[in-house]
Copies of this chain bind each other. A is one copy, B any other.
Amino acid sequence: MTAKKTDARLSAKDKKRLASMNPEEIAELKELIEFLKENGIGEFDLERGDLKVRLKFAGAGPQVDPSHLSQLAQFAAAQHAAALQPAVVAHVHPVGAPAHPAAAASSAPETATAAAPIDDEAGLHIVKSPIVGTFYESPSPGSPAFVKPGDMVEVGQVLCIVEAMKLMNEIESDAAGEIVKRFVTSGQPVEYGQKLFAVRPR
């Protein structure tokens, strides 16, 4: 099942249409993106050098690997409809424990490796859970939290505990700076690679 490839002949008009594209107008961009979105374009590339256009409708979309995905996300609102990917890839909901933010807040895949939303976390360092377990903010019930948003932390400073197999594992900060966000609540189960804290590096 190889694809047929025939030499393309472009009419003069087509050549004109696609050839000489010159700089202008930012306002048009959003409209273009809206238009792409409306039309279910999943991918759109354009290079100027010697002009390269690539266009792909979302439905025709093969799985896009994460590195592409982040590029794509920056380029335009990617409508990512890869065939059988789970809507929520991490969905840990033990009875009695609150669902973790990714599952609770949206249906966007929360991945360990995927780029974080740029608007929230640009320039922030994310501390992730190196193990599966239960998150605790403080060394023992009732005692104060190791850290809270607004605190300044050093590299190696204990931020929290993740309990796994009855062992209390102290999670240390791998960056120095200000804690700007905690992603999980005490007692909540966390999986490998799950985001715990955002740190604004000093």
Contact = CB atoms under 8 A, between A and B. Distances in A.
A76 B20 contact: no
A173 B58 CA distance: 45
Contacts of A85: 1, 4
Given A1-B81, A54-B44, A33 B22 contact: no
A interface, how many residues as a size bin?
Answer: 35 or more
A45 B19 CA distance: 13
The number of times this chain is found in the oligomer is 2
Nearest to A24: B22
Interface of A: 1-11, 14-15, 17-26, 28-37, 39, 41-60, 73-81, 84-87, 106-109, 117-119
15 contacts: A3-B81, A6-B80, A9-B74, A10-B76, A11-B74, A18-B28, A19-B25, A19-B48, A20-B23, A23-B28, A36-B55, A42-B57, A49-B50, A57-B58, A58-B60
